[in-house]
Amino acid sequence: MQSDTVDDDPSPDGYAGRSPEGMPAGSGRPGARPAAPDQAVARHGIAHALQALQAIVVRELFKFSQQTGRLVSALVRPLLWLAVFAAGFRNVFGVAIVEPYDTYIPYDVYIAPGLVGMVLLFNGMQSSLAMVYDREMGLMRLLLTAPLPRSWLLFSKLCATALLSVLQALAFVAVATLLGTELPLFSWAGLHALLALVCGALMLGALGLLLSVHIKQLENFAGTMNFVIFPMYFLSTALYPLWKLQESGAGWVYQLARFNPFTHAVEWIRFALYGKDPGVAPWVVLGCLLAFFVVACWGYDPQRGFGGLAKRGGGPP
């Protein structure tokens, strides 16, 4: 006897939207395509994330374009070292023939990669100051409450910081070339050096992101200058070779410089410029980048953050 139930399903087997076992279509049949709505949601999520990345990067570039003094100060600082400090020692001493150099070089050529690192370092720390300012103004709360993963939003800020750092570093290289200190950046080896620049900028930007978790007020940034920026710069190979420290008997300075992440960032740039193997420097830089960024994301999580700073300025609890 025919059932009174009418099947409105137009499919031949009467199982539209279901597999023979009662599962959703596409989940139990080999080779079945995912449901179209899921694909649309995934595409929309990716497009939304890329749109947020673009918006944050464009915002930072616009802010930078409105602060002409920021570019001038970023260039004046290393150029003073190059034009005054290095020029004074140009004829006093140079650097012996050690890797990555094939010939005896003047002092200004040696410290040029370190001054490039200085540009990256100061801009990375400047980003932490901007993060603290945005937090005090409530802008970080608005940003981090967007319907996107918190880590992605912080990564977008990090990308914007790294882009500005690399642009300023390239501007310094151009001006240094005009002053007579040439770096082989515009060559095949320069592509490796550009990669080192980007990774170094990301690492130092991630460090600035981490510091912004702990800096409570803008007034505390002076302490960051004294206890983070200057020690990282002077306890590195930016101004003198590592072997010189060991040769002079400054054992503790040598050990601190050895384990300084900034040392490895500078050495990676220096060795890449001359097409030499940078050794473990890339791995140290990438490892520190990952560690700094993960801890910074943890600090900006209001549920797991430490110090109470993220809860106060990073978003609603």
Domain boundaries, the chain: 62-313
Task: Give the per-residue pLDDT at 313.
Answer: 42
Q: In the structure, what pLDDT confidence band is assigned to residue 26 with cuts at 50, 70 and 90?
A: very low
- The 10s digit of each residue's pLDDT in 145-200 is 777 888 888 899 999 999 999 999 999 999 988 888 878 777 777 889 999 999 99
- The 10s digit of each residue's pLDDT in 105-160 is 788 888 889 999 999 999 988 888 888 887 777 777 777 777 788 888 889 999 99
- How far lies 126's CA from each of 33, 88, 89, 206, in Å? 49, 29, 30, 12
Task: Give the per-residue pLDDT at 185.
Answer: 73
Residue 165 · residue 74 · CB < 8 Å:
no
Provide mean pLDDT across the span 209-233: 81
Nearest to 268 by CA among 173, 192, 164: 192
Q: In the structure, what pLDDT confidence band is assigned to residue 21 with cuts at 50, 70 and 90?
A: very low
H helices of 67-106, in order, are: 68-80, 87-89
**Is the model more confident about 120 or about 242?**
120
Q: In the structure, what pLDDT confidence band is assigned to residue 12 with cuts at 50, 70 and 90?
A: very low
Q: Point out the least confidently predicted range of 126-140, 246-260, 284-298.
A: 126-140
pLDDT exceeds 90 at position 52: no
Q: In the structure, what pLDDT confidence band is assigned to residue 315 with cuts at 50, 70 and 90?
A: very low
**What span, in angstroms and rounded, lies between the C-alpha atoms of 82 and 179?**
9
Q: Tell me the pTM.
A: 0.78
Task: Give the per-residue pLDDT at 66.
Answer: 85
Give strand pairing partners of 24: 18
